[in-house]
Amino acid sequence: MPRLFVAIRPPEIVRDVLHDAMEGIDAARWQSDEQLHLTLRFVGDVDVPLANDLAAELARVKAAPFPLQIKGVGHFEKKGRIHTAWAGVVAEPELLDLQRRVERACRTVGIAPETRKFTPHVTLARLNSSSGQIGDWLAAHGALEAQPFIVREMALYESTLGREGSHYQPVVTYPL
């Protein structure tokens, strides 16, 4: 059963800026280069017929290329425990529109609606109870900024869990 998500992959020059910020939190599990992406919609485990329906529906999503920029850092927490450190992505209207269209495609094929608010970001590190404090890292990288880039495509990715974490493979790429 494939585990899927829809995402935008930043270009190498932007990923290089992200890599430069990926240090300074003890025991953090930093993302590999192949894992750096902006998730438009996490789908999860679906059966193959539904995955095929989603792939076909995503091909119907129309959007023009648009500029995007990495700016700032932040974190996610649950029940008071920080679990993710991320680089922010400016919430351009075109990005928000594309995300809504992807969400609509998911619902059209019968995938349950996303209940979490869309927060545009690129995950940099996963944290757990043994990870160090994040405050100094947030302060040191608060002004993180990469040059704007043009989003020309999105992709449907499959995530496979391995010994060193998740491996992400684009299954279908959709030009904008």
Question: Across-strand partners of 159?
Answer: 168
Decide if 75 is catalytic: no
Catalytic residue among 19, 37, 141, 167: 37
Task: Tell me how far CA of residue 42 lies from CA of 28, 77, 80, 91, 115, in angstroms.
Answer: 22, 18, 23, 18, 11
Q: Report the pLDDT value the prediction gives residue 164, as an integer from 0 to 100.
A: 74
- What is the residue extent of each domain of the chain? 3-175
- What are residue 82's DSSP bridge partners? 77
Q: Which one of the listed residues 19, 121, 141, 167 is annotated catalytic? A: 121
Q: Which residues contact 142 (CB under 8 A, 6 or more apart)?
A: 72, 73
Cα(43)–Cα(156) distance, integer angstroms: 10
The yes-or-no answer on residue 121 being catalytic is yes
Contact of 134 with 75, CB cutoff 8 Å: yes
Listing DSSP states for 47-109 in one string gives: -HHHHHHHHHHHTT-----EEE-EEEEEEEEETTEEEEEEEEE---HHHHHHHHHHHHHHHHT
CB-count burial class (<10 Å; 0-12, 13-18, 19+) for 64: exposed
This prediction's pTM: 0.95
User: What does the pLDDT profile of the chain (176 residues) look like in tens digits?
Assistant: 899 999 999 999 999 999 999 999 999 999 999 999 999 999 999 999 999 999 999 999 999 999 999 999 999 999 989 999 999 999 999 999 999 999 999 999 999 999 999 999 999 999 999 999 999 999 999 999 999 999 999 999 999 988 777 899 999 999 99
pLDDT at residue 169, as a whole number: 95
SS3 19: helix
pLDDT score at 6: 98
pLDDT of residue 90: 97
- Taking the C-alpha atoms of residue 141 and residue 144, their distance in angstroms, rounded to an integer, is 5
Q: What is the reported pLDDT for 153?
A: 98
So what's the pLDDT on residue 1? 86
Instruction: List the CATH code of the domain at 3-175.
Output: 3.90.1140.10
pLDDT at 22: 97
Helix axes 48-58, 93-108, angle to 10 degrees: 140
Q: What is the DSSP letter of 116?
A: S
